[in-house]
Amino acid sequence: MVCKTYPMELNRMAKVEDNMASIIVAQLLFLEAENPTEQINLYINSPGGSVTAGMAIYDTMQYIQSPVSTLCNGQACSMASLLLAAGEAGKRYALPNSSIMMHQPSGGAAGQASDIAIHAREILRVRERLNRIYQKHTGIRDVETIEKMVERDYFMTAEEAMNFGLVDKVLEKRKEQKEAAPKKD
């Protein structure tokens, strides 16, 4: 379920999938149109899901003028961890008992050998792209570190995610997030 809870806030508590991504993309674009300079808060509690749906959200977050703050309240696993990391630098948060998990993409293919080979090349290309995005948002210099981490499911506490660079701060109280928000003129 996605809803606009307060002006400029989106609450997303579901699997990352095409219908949900379409709603989130539309809401991000709408909120930007309402006030392109005001911060949008995106709350994430998700087990992850579709890479293509997640990339639609990711690309929109990067495309819009409004800064997008992300906050994990519960879990941000798989594709949701990438969305968490993709928030505005300095505005990526997790609550203390959040769980964050990264891993490589998974999928399956059936059919002729040549079609299976095509799908195998594509998932390897997607894995490389996701690793580069994690590298960009975490500040980790060598992509090999990320490649090793995502080889299998890699779970982190909120504190570990902060040390890794997926989030900027672990929040105890809402006022800490408000104190970090840009001041209105």
Residues classed as catalytic: 103
Q: At what angle do helices 18-34 and 51-63 cross, to 10 degrees?
A: 10
**Nearest CA among 77, 74, 89 for reference residue 49:** 77
Amino acid at 41: N
Tokens 């809402």 sit on residue: 174
Handedness of CA 3, 103, 75, 163 (dihedral sign): negative
